[in-house]
Amino acid sequence: MEQTQTVTSVVDADRRLYFLCKRLMDVVLASLLLVLLSPLLILIAILIKLDSPGPVFFVQERVGSRRRLIGRQVVWEIRPFRMIKFRSMVCNADPKLHEQYIRAYTSGEASAVETEDGTIYKLVNDPRVTRVGRILRRASLDELPQLFNVLRGEMSLVGPRPVPQYEFDSYKDWHKERLAATPGITGLWQVSGRCENSFDEQMMLDITYVRNQSLWLDIVILLRTLPAVLSGRGAG
């Protein structure tokens, strides 16, 4: 991005205690999950290496935001960071297919697709996805390495998903309000149907979260995440 962009939060500076507690919860839970899930992480890494040539991890620049306090006003500085995922595609996969779909999705031109699990907005039957990658995506296991992003303070356990630059470039001004929060691994959109929602519906769910951020809402979303993942609803 050529210049620093910011978005002003409706959450004022008096809620510093919330942000402090949220960060503490992120660090404690992310550390605990990395320890408890370490055998699973190792197994996934082995399966990825056995399934297709290439690195275990996929690192992509995403657009996120960082909270800054100016007087009594909270301002979110929009900035890129490197997000980590388990690789679920063939090595050096051409990103153009996804970029084309995202442009159609954000403009409202993408049609919902009928699948055995319902109607979703998602790029289905993507030839770039590996056999192991399909399983990882179905169970959202490819997202687990983002726990390291949480520990580094680039992400939170709960918040709007960080997006690639080419998706951010298609945002209208009102869409950018969703960036007035630390990007998360899971969020209100993920537990509310996920890919069953249109782009504008996704934006409104994220903005609803931004405007109503609280520790209780974060806990509720975390508790709803596991059932949402297990059900596979909206995962495609």
User: Please, what is the average pLDDT of the chain?
Assistant: 84
pLDDT confidence band for 152 (50 / 70 / 90): very high
* Region label for 186, one of left (φ > 0), alpha (ψ between -120 and 50) or beta (otherwise): beta
Strand partners, 76: 7, 67
Angle between helices 215-231 and 16-36 (to 10 degrees): 30
Domain ranges of the chain: 5-94+130-228
pLDDT (tens digit per residue) in 155-167: 999 999 999 998 8
How many Cβ atoms from other residues are within 10 Å of residue 214's Cβ?
14
How many Cβ atoms from other residues are within 10 Å of residue 21's Cβ?
13
Secondary structure of 151-204 as H, E, C letters? HCCCCEEECCCCECHHHHCCCCHHHHHHHCCCCEEECCCCCCCHHHCCHHHHHH
Q: Is the pLDDT of residue 118 over 50?
A: no
Q: Which of these, 18, 6, 5, lies nearest to 217 by C-alpha position?
A: 18
Give phi and psi for 91, each to the nearest 5: -65, 140
Give phi and psi for 233, each to the nearest 5: -65, 125
pLDDT (tens digit per residue) in 122-147: 555 677 889 999 899 888 899 999 99
* Region label for 125, one of left (φ > 0), alpha (ψ between -120 and 50) or beta (otherwise): left
Q: Sheet with 73-86: list strands edge to edge.
A: 5-8, 73-86, 57-70
pLDDT given for residue 74 in this prediction: 77
Close Cβ partners of 46 (under 8 Å, ≥ 6 residues apart): none
